[in-house]
């Protein structure tokens, strides 16, 4: 792909819905499939629009929502720990900080090496 060329924003939405349909095909009943796909459309299509609207009109509410979602994710990891709340809390914090801060910083750090990587294969011919 040429420098400055971007993928269309609908590509990520299409891939998210595709993965939801593939996962929904494994569910046992049509009611659960419908519920899962409805949740997927709300989460992947409508929620990003709501977050963009919220950031534009109330940045404080946007950041509060982000913190709430992060803490909810940590709480889910604690709940998965089934009683060992301290280990779940530590693991949730490590995963949350690693994914939320560590991975983006690592990708920014790796940007300086991308000009040295030469990946040539038949799939990369445009």
Which pLDDT does position 3 carry in this prediction? 53
* 3 alpha-carbon distance from chain centroid: 25
pLDDT of residue 110 exceeding 60: yes
Taking the domains of the chain in order of start, what are their residue ranges?
1-57, 58-126
Residue 101 tokens, joined: 């801060």
Exposed e or buried b per residue across 24-62, where buried means at least 16 C-beta atoms within 10 angstroms of its C-beta: beeeeeeeebeebbeebeeebeeeeeeeeebeeeeeeeb
pLDDT of 34-90, one tens digit each?
A: 888 888 888 888 888 888 889 999 999 999 998 888 788 777 777 776 667 777 777
What's 81's DSSP letter? T
């Amino acid at each position: 792909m040429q420098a400055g060329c971007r993928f269309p924003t609908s590509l990520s939405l299409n891939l998210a819905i595709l993965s939801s349909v593939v996962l929904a095909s494994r569910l046992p009943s049509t009611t659960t499939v419908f519920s899962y796909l409805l949740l997927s459309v709300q989460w992947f299509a409508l929620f990003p629009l709501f977050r963009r609207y919220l950031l534009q009109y109330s940045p404080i509410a946007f950041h509060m929502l982000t913190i709430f979602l992060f803490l909810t994710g940590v709480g889910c990891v604690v709940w998965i720990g089934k009683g060992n709340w301290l280990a779940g809390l530590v693991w949730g914090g490590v995963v949350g900080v690693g994914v939320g801060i560590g991975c983006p910083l690592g990708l920014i750090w790796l940007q300086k090496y991308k000009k040295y990587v030469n990946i040539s294969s038949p799939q990369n011919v445009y």
